[in-house]
Structure 1
Amino acid sequence: MNRLVPLALAAALLAGCTAGAGGQEPPRREGGTGPFTLVTGRDTTGYLRPLLDRWNRSRPAERVTLLELPEAADEQRAQMVANLQARSDRYDVLGLDVVWTAEFADAGWIVPLERSMFPLDRFLPPVVDTAVYRGKLWAVPYTSNAGLLYYRKDLLAKEGLAPPRTWAELREQARALHEEYGVGGYAGQFLAYEGLTVNFAEAVQSAGGGPILSPDGTRVTMDAAGAKAGLDFLVGGLREGWIPKESLSYKEEESRLAFQEGRLAFARNWPPAYGPATQSEIAGRFAVTRLPGLDGPGSSTLGGTNLALSAFSKRQKSAVEFIRYFTGLENQRRVLTDGSFPPVWTELYDDPALIRRFPYLPVLKESILSARPRPVSANYDQVSLAIAGAVSGALTPPFEESSDDVVASLKGQLNEIIRAP
């Protein structure tokens, strides 16, 4: 266990809490030690409880209770929002999707944290950025994530091909492998949900279209030419058939199964898809690389979970110490080895023993370092719905909408959302 912050330092942190980014004053809590709760999405791997048991054995007077929410991110958010809007003290430490930072901070539901209390200089820099909003640290990174290109290395080897670095190479290889071996070419997550927002954001970034919104979420900064190029890449693949039409119904699980069952030559997915593929019929016949882009390697979207402190918690001192413990180096190693989730400490990506066990770590590190957060907005839910809706319409046959019109309409919708009170 890493050394924990003294209570005096935690008290100083809480005494200095300021109003939320939106101007709402978080409640002050005196004292604040004792049993508390950690609320997060369902633990599907079983790795969490041993970590919590270690804390509870050493801190019996400050036991942590795990409250598991549904696996789906939108259901997690709905339950957390309902609790926080009621100013309930049932939740203490919140496991937040990285895209919720701005919303929860702006609403005054979480409190800012003191940067010096956490070894942020040893974390991957883009991951730290997901926990910062308008100059303040509102959470501490716990797990990270970035999209990777999964590919059939056996099929590429038979054709004497190197993994694609550009969209043109991906298109050419996907078409060739489809014709030669009867497999689908390429797929991502193209159902009209958060996954489609992610895939579109990656396409825009990878075409040089810049971030969709400014870092403070006050301006639409998406370059129209880059956005059009990214959308044309996806629409063109569906129109030409090297992106199979069934991928319009794919979420992460469907695309994972399609790839590991040998139905795809290439697939965009997150790192947790790697482990199941090593136990599938394509075990030993696949590898991962960075996502391709318009003129070279592309840019992924950052995912992951951050730990935040509820503004309504009555056990804030204990909760802060727990966040330090849970994001420490030893536990971060276990997050990877026991849970198969990408850690946030940079040095773990360079550990030879871990690389032997998780060969994708060097590529994942490159992907995270070149990745960008999703659009930062206190109204992120509306932003994501607008993006997914507009892009889904463009991807659906008979492809009647021009990319120019879709991009122009989307920029208009985004401007209305970010200007809404």
Structure 2
Amino acid sequence: MFRSLLTVAVLLAVTGCAGAGASDTDGRTSGTGPITFATGRDTTAYLQPLLDRWNQAHPAEKVTLLELPEAADEQRAQMAANLQSKSDRYDVLGLDVTMTAEFADNGWIIPLERGAFPLDRFLPPVVETAIYRDKLWAVPYTSNAGLLYYRTDLVAKPPASWAELRRQAVGIRKKHTIGGYAGQFLAYEGLTVNFSEAVQAAGGRILDPEGTQVTLETGTATTALDYLVQGLREGWIPQESLSFKEEESRLAFQQGRLAFMRNWPHAYGPATAPGSAVRGKFAVTRLPGPSVLGGNNLAISAHSRHQQTAQAFIHYFTSLDNQRRVLTDGSFPPVWTELYDDPGLIERFPYLPVLKESILAAERRPASANYNQLSLVIASNVAKALAPPYTESAADVAASLKAELSEVLKTQ
């Protein structure tokens, strides 16, 4: 009973301080009242309990969850349509880290006071995803780095290179008649990420950090494409993975249909749950090459009528207490650095030290207001190379991709 009262007291203190510290940045952060939180679909059902805690403490400023599609580019499309119409339906926006520059550039979100949030206690690369042109436009909420999930009952030692992964996957597929490896290969942002990681593993990069120059070498792109096409031709990358987003690949691994899977950390929790075919039979390690940095940031709509409440809610939602719940209840990587060094959490989530290393070493996607168009060009070209019967040569696709990216940048 005492512990419950103490928890409520801490919650009220945190949220009370957040309200008192609400900033009138550029004179626009004002207004209190009910708000709507628009974010991607909650696949682990962890969000509502956190919202309920806020609502119990703030009956006049309740938050309503508005779930958007699972895929980041579909979320962007819905939010962009809403904000372009200057609708006040959305107050707090859960933005994929790739959206910060575009939303800020279009005036769809408001700048925030850096000193109002404990950014110095967050993972540094994660904070950078919320900054555009030296202004803070959002507050990091979750981070992400791609990890390699592998079957410990089939693999004695995880692969140290992509070439070794191929050898192991080929052998396992022949012996056990299951899929060797899958990532996210549907033509959407997930394919852009998977291809970017293949390019990075080959020693290259598609664009410069600002997204203003094409740095992709045709030979490097061809090497990356050939690896994926080879996997599909040889069958250790199953053909069905061409329709995989995050959830489809998670389910395939969780149902025991894959030996290896590239996915984000959120797939860990469901794979350990009762009923999972791989429960107690898998482990997680770093990708054989560099990961792309992912994550989700919280921003305030420029058209919200209750921006003060929105900022107080972001204070609450990104607090240390809730960040712990984001991990324990949702299996999403927190942004507070100290949580990755917590012995109790490491015991429960053994991959945390590896995940921390992966996040700190991950490549950030370009901070470009035109990122969405650049990503569409990448995904559509890569999808051509991966589509059977593989009549598009990897070299031709690589050259076409480089040319189209250059054309997009010329129009900026």
Shift of 1:9: 4.8
Partners of 1:144 and 1:362 lie apart in 2 by 14
Kept in 2: contact 1:13–1:113 (CA 8 A): yes
- Aligned pair count reads 398
Within-5 A mapping of 1:94-109: 94-109=93-108
What is the DSSP-based 3-state SS (H/G/I as helix, E as strand, rest coil) of the residue aligned with 2:330? coil
- The one-letter code sitting in structure 2 at the alignment partner of 1:115 is R
Kept in 2: contact 1:4–1:325 (CA 8 A): no
> Counterpart of 2:121?
122
Shift of 1:391: 0.8
> Counterpart of 1:219?
213
1:309 partnered with 2:304: no
Q: For the structure 1 residues 116 and 386, does the alpha-carbon distance in structure 2 shift closer, same or farther, using more than 3 Å as the test?
A: same
Kept in 2: contact 1:4–1:324 (CA 8 A): no
For residues 266-321 of structure 1, the C-alpha deviation after alignment (integer angstroms, 9 at most, x for no partner) is 111122222222231222111111111xxxxx111222211001111222222212
What is the DSSP-based 3-state SS (H/G/I as helix, E as strand, rest coil) of the residue aligned with 1:108? coil
2:318 to 327, 343, 359: 327
1:208 to 178, 191, 203: 203
Partners of 1:306 and 1:190 lie apart in 2 by 24
- The one-letter code sitting in structure 1 at the alignment partner of 2:285 is T
> Counterpart of 1:170?
165
For residues 29-78 of structure 1, the C-alpha deviation after alignment (integer angstroms, 9 at most, x for no partner) is 6x423332222223343322322232233333433333333344344322
Partners of 1:46 and 1:176 lie apart in 2 by 37
- The one-letter code sitting in structure 2 at the alignment partner of 1:404 is A
1:408 partnered with 2:399: yes
Within-5 A mapping of 1:11-410: 11-15=23-27, 28=28, 31-157=30-156, 162-210=157-205, 212-278=206-272, 279=274, 280-292=276-288, 298-410=289-401
> Counterpart of 2:8?
none
Q: For the structure 1 residues 304 and 109, does the alpha-carbon distance in structure 2 shift closer, same or farther, using more than 3 Å as the test?
A: same
Partners of 2:32 and 2:82 lie apart in 1 by 21
- The one-letter code sitting in structure 2 at the alignment partner of 1:312 is H
Deviates more, 1:316-325 or 1:243-252: 243-252
What is the DSSP-based 3-state SS (H/G/I as helix, E as strand, rest coil) of the residue aligned with 1:156? coil
Shift of 1:7: 5.8
TM-score, normalised via structure 2 length: 0.90
Kept in 2: contact 1:214–1:376 (CA 8 A): no
Partners of 1:262 and 1:203 lie apart in 2 by 25
CA RMSD of aligned residues (A): 2.1
Deviates more, 1:401-410 or 1:97-106: 401-410
Q: For the structure 1 residues 63 and 363, does the alpha-carbon distance in structure 2 shift closer, same or farther, using more than 3 Å as the test?
A: same
Shift of 1:330: 0.6
Kept in 2: contact 1:35–1:61 (CA 8 A): yes
Shift of 1:135: 2.2
Kept in 2: contact 1:144–1:341 (CA 8 A): yes
Partners of 1:68 and 1:264 lie apart in 2 by 29
Partners of 1:328 and 1:132 lie apart in 2 by 19
Kept in 2: contact 1:377–1:418 (CA 8 A): no
- The one-letter code sitting in structure 1 at the alignment partner of 2:399 is A
TM-score, normalised via structure 1 length: 0.88
Kept in 2: contact 1:106–1:378 (CA 8 A): yes
Deviates more, 1:328-337 or 1:350-359: 350-359
Shift of 1:4: 5.4
Partners of 1:43 and 1:242 lie apart in 2 by 31
What is the DSSP-based 3-state SS (H/G/I as helix, E as strand, rest coil) of the residue aligned with 2:236? coil
Structure 2 gaps, min length 5: 1-10
Shift of 1:263: 2.3
Partners of 1:341 and 1:143 lie apart in 2 by 7
Shift of 1:140: 0.6
Kept in 2: contact 1:126–1:372 (CA 8 A): no
